[in-house]
Amino acid sequence: MAAVDLYWLPLGAGGHFVRLNGRIYEALTARLQRRPACDLYHSALQVELPEGTFVIEQAPVHDWSGKVRGVVAEGAVGARWAGRFRIFRYEIRLWRYGHIPDVAEAVDSPRPLSDREACARRVLELVPRVPTPVWGRDQLGTGEMWNSNSVIAWVIARSGIDAESIRPPKRGRAPGWQAGIAVAQRKDRKSRAAPTPQDRPTADR
C-alpha cells in the first residue's frame, strides 16, 4: 500500500501573528495587482509506504532537535547572513511517523496525488535534494519568492506528478508554488541535455 497526499493549510494556522501578517501582505499585493484578495495557503505532503508514514514540510527551526523531526536540510530566512541565527532559519523535514501541525485546519485535504509505490519512494528520495535558497527572496530568478510552497511544488514536479495542474482551494492562493515548478523544470531540462555514458567521447573515438 502506498499513497502521496497533499494538504493545504491556511497560512498562519494556529498562530494569529503569522495569519495577520499574511492578510496584510495579501491585501497589499492584491491592491498592487488590481485583483480581489485571496486566502493564502501553505502546503505539506504525507507519504505512506509499507514501512511507515512520512511527513514532508518546510517550517521554522524551533530548536536543536532536528533529527527527531527528520530534518534533511536548512536554509536562511530573509538574508543569507541572517541564517547564522536559529530564529532566521528554516528546515525541510522528512519526518517518519511525524505529524502536520494544525492538520485539523486543513482545507480541501487530503488531496490524493498518487497511489504508486515507485512514485512515493521517488518523492522520499528527492526531499534531501531540494534547493535551499533564502526564504522570501527570488534568488533563483523565477519571478516569485521561494518559500514552503516552492519546496513542495519542486518535489512533486521532480517526482513526475503534474504539479502545474494542482490548484489551491477555491478563492485561495499559494505564493511560491510556480517558483518550485520553474526550478524543477530547469533541473529536468539539464538532466535530459546531459550526455549519457554512451554519448560521451572516448579516446577510441
Three-state secondary structure string covering 177-205:
HHHHHHHHHHHHHHHHHCCCCCCCCCCCC
Q: pTM to 2 decimals?
A: 0.86
Tens digits of per-residue pLDDT, 138-191?
999 999 999 999 999 999 999 999 999 999 999 888 999 999 999 999 977 777
Please compute the mean of the pLDDT values over residues 113-130 and round it to a whole number: 97
Cα gap 63→69, rounded to integer Å: 10
Distance separating the N- and C-terminal Cα atoms of the chain: 49
- Comparing CA positions, the residue from 165, 147, 158 lying closest to residue 187 is 158
Is the N-terminal amide bond of 10 cis, ω within 30° of 0?
no
Neighbours of 51 (CB within 10 A): 7
Tens digits of per-residue pLDDT, 59-94?
988 777 788 899 999 999 999 999 889 889 999 999
- Structural contact between residues 121 and 49, judged by C-beta atoms closer than 8 angstroms: yes
Q: The C-alpha cell of 104 is what? A: 485539523
Q: The C-alpha cell of 2 is what? A: 502506498
